[in-house]
Amino acid sequence: MVTGKTSLNKFNNNWYKPGATGLKIVLWYFTNLGFFTSRWLPDSGFKVFLLRTFGAKIGTGVIIKPAVNIKYPWKLIIGNNVWIGEQVWLDNLENVEIGNDVCISQGAMLLCGNHNYKKISFDLIVGKIILEEGVWIGAQTVVCPGVVCKSHSLLTVGSVATQTLEAYTIYQGNPAKAIRKRVISNE
């Protein structure tokens, strides 16, 4: 027998601290709205400058396409030669670490937050996401809280990563399952 009901009026995430003051959060909100989520500023260099100003740690050769949404730059580490495609959503309520030579394709979502559906209060759950060197996150994919995508793993179009992706392995589906090894040619 199923019992209990969700009661959203009992939701309380006072324990969660975004890691910045209210003023910094408001300033970032408008900066994100004006320069990242909009399509009118295609220049990655200026976006990288803004992210660093707000506390992100970012390497060189980073390309950030238009219409990218980033929750909290001070919880973001990006390596060298990283590509972030159009309409990517980095909902980084927790730290997101992106290694060198990572490609995050258009429409992908990295979601560091979720809710505990077993609790009446629908409590917030957060977990960091790590994308190691050479990872490719395909278009329209979802990477869930706490997931580590190991070196050169690949999440194919429309897939959902709910657990660790092993190195040099291609994953597909919802939830994503390993389908074959990723072999990279030196040619």
125 is a domain residue: yes
**pLDDT of 131 over the 90 cut:** yes
CA-to-CA distance for 118 and 123, rounded, in angstroms? 9
**Residue 85, CA atoms < 13 Å, CB-side half-sphere:** 15
Higher pLDDT, 39 or 84: 84
CATH number for the domain spanning 76: value is 2.160.10.10
Concatenated DSSP letters of 145-160: TT-EE-TT-EE-TT-E
186 is a domain residue: no
Torsions phi, psi for 52 (to 5 deg): -65, -40
Range of the domain at 67: 46-180
**pLDDT of 2 over the 80 cut:** no
DSSP E strand boundaries for the chain? 57-58, 63-64, 69-70, 76-78, 83-84, 89-91, 96-98, 103-104, 109-111, 113-115, 124-126, 129-131, 136-137, 142-143, 148-149, 154-155, 160-161, 169-172, 177-181
Residue 154: per-residue pLDDT? 98
**pLDDT of 1 over the 80 cut:** no
41 is a domain residue: no
Residue 3: per-residue pLDDT? 79
- Give pLDDT tens digits for 96-124: 999 999 999 999 999 999 999 999 999 99
4 is a domain residue: no
Residue 117: per-residue pLDDT? 92
pLDDT (average), residues 23-30: 97
Which residue in the block uniquely carries the two structure tokens 């657990």?
163
Q: Among residues 156, 161, 165, which one has the least CA distance to residue 175?
A: 161
**pLDDT of 163 over the 80 cut:** yes
Say what percent of the chain tops pLDDT 70.
Answer: 100
Count the neighbouring beta carbons within 10 Å of the beta carbon of residue 108. Answer: 24
7 is a domain residue: no
Q: What is the number of structural domains in the chain?
A: 1
Q: How many helices (H) and strands (E) does the chain have?
A: 2, 19
124 is a domain residue: yes
**pLDDT of 76 over the 80 cut:** yes
Give the end-to-end CA distance of the chain in Å, rounded to a whole number.
Answer: 60
185 is a domain residue: no
* Helix, coil or strand: residue 30: helix
**pLDDT of 41 over the 80 cut:** no
91 is a domain residue: yes
